[in-house]
Amino acid sequence: MFQGSLVALITPFKKGKVDFGALRALVDWHVAQGTDGLVPVGTTGESPTVDMAEHKKIIETVVKQAQGRIPVVAGAGANATSEALELARFSKAAGADATLQVCPYYNKPTQEGLYRHFATIAEKVNLPVVLYNVPGRTAVTLAPGTVARLAKLKNIVAIKEATGSMDQTSEILSLCDITVLSGDDSLTLPLMALGAKGVISVVANIVPAEVSQMCTAALEGNFDGALALHRKLFPLCRAMFFETNPIPVKTAASLMKLCSAEMRLPLCEMGVAAKVQMVKEMKAFGLI
């Protein structure tokens, strides 16, 4: 379940509301394009600016639309353990296959606090947990030793590694056999060469088939084929981070008529210069 290309799904908006029609269409498109899993309401899904009712309805909608065709890893993280528990319990009731649990942000817990946070969720909700380590967003890093401790728990099954550190993944895999998924598109292939099993991808929102093909090639040991796809994707991967994610990918999706470019403050429209450069890369790839 936890390998290949899982998309960090964008959340479409229309006139200030979640566009559930566009969301359902995105789910169907990803299934048709060969995406291996859906990860709604994470960072790319603008989780910080949806309220609790919207958050739950997005999870429910994606699960219902997927209809078991591909797994759904529901974004259910929070910086309060009680809130993460509420979202994890809802995700299980809604039929999600797992939850994505980010390191609690802003309050900067210790390694022991991080361990207790994730352990509490894993022990109280019988649903697989994908840890999410993204210190650039959370101001804390989940240490390899803590990951190894958590991997001993039955429901801790994988980690999305977005530290940008090859050493981090190498050390994790030297300490335990947890499944590692890349959290950085440009590092997916390098991390898979170290033993990672795939990616939770931003760029797959606009090129799902190619990202899935690259991951499949790497999993099958066809690293020459995977490298060719990596090199093709790399400029587009970088373009998705010309500005803060998900501003570029949401803008790109709108140019492809997948949804509107609407975001919620404090996110705003893409700057002109960055957008020009992104459009250049999209045209080079043949997307527009």
Active site residue 115: no
The bridge status of strand 98-102 relative to strand 129-133 is: parallel
Question: What whole-number distance in Å separates Cα of residue 183 and Cα of residue 69?
Answer: 23
Position 205, amino acid: N
Beta bridge mates, 116: none
Active site residue 132: yes
In the block, which residue shows the tokens 């609407």? 262
Position 282, amino acid: M
Residues in the chain: 288
User: What are the angstrom distances between the C-alpha of 28 and each of 50, 159, 164, 196, 229?
Assistant: 22, 26, 31, 27, 24
Closest C-alpha among 253, 202, 248, 207 to residue 229? 207
| Omega before residue 266 within 30° of 0, cis | yes
Q: Which of 56, 160, 250, 275 is catalytic?
A: 160
3-class SS at 162? coil
Q: Which of 132, 154, 250, 283 is catalytic?
A: 132
- Catalytic residue numbers read 132, 160
